[in-house]
Amino acid sequence: MIITNESELLGMQKVSEAVAMVLKEMINYAQPGLTTKRLDSYGGALLSDVGVNSAPLLAYGFPGHTCISVNNEICHGIPSNSKILKDGDLINIDVSAELNGFWSDNGASSIIGNDIHQHQRLIDASKEISKLAIQNIKGGIKISDIGLLIETQAKKRGYKVIKNLAGHGIGRKLHEHPHKILNHRDKLDQRRFGKNSVIAIETFISTVSTYAEQQNDGWTMIGNKGGYVAQHEHTIIVTNDRPEILTIRNEIYS
For the chain, 254 residues long, give each residue's pLDDT as a single digit of tens. Answer: 999 999 999 999 999 999 999 999 999 999 999 999 999 999 999 999 999 999 999 999 999 999 999 999 999 999 999 999 999 999 999 999 999 999 999 999 999 999 999 999 999 999 999 999 999 999 999 999 999 999 999 999 999 999 999 999 999 999 999 999 999 999 999 999 999 999 999 999 999 999 999 999 999 999 999 999 999 999 999 999 999 999 999 999 98
Residue stretches of the annotated binding site: 76, 94, 105, 168, 175, 202, 233
Residue 1 resides in a domain: no
Integer angstrom CA distances of residue 137 from 63, 170, 195, 241: 34, 16, 10, 8
244 contacts: CB under 8 Å, gap ≥ 6: 236, 237
Question: What's the CATH number where 119 sits?
Answer: 3.90.230.10
Q: Which of 229, 198, 236 is nearest to 69 (CA)?
A: 229
Integer angstrom CA distances of residue 182 from 11, 77, 117, 249: 27, 21, 28, 25
Neighbours of 216 (CB within 10 A): 6
This prediction's pTM: 0.97
Cis-peptide into 79, omega within 30 deg: no
Please give the pLDDT value at position 179.
Answer: 96
Residue 104 resides in a domain: yes
Please give the pLDDT value at position 10.
Answer: 98
Q: 84: domain range? A: 6-250
How many domains are contained in the chain?
1
Residue stretches of the annotated binding site for substrate: 76, 175
What sign for the dihedral angle of Cα 39, 108, 28, 103? negative
Residue stretches of the annotated binding site for a divalent metal cation: 94, 105, 168, 202, 233
Please give the pLDDT value at position 137.
Answer: 98
Residue 42 resides in a domain: yes
Residue 57 resides in a domain: yes
Please give the pLDDT value at position 254.
Answer: 86
| Cα–Cα distance for residue pair 83/79, rounded to 1 Å | 8
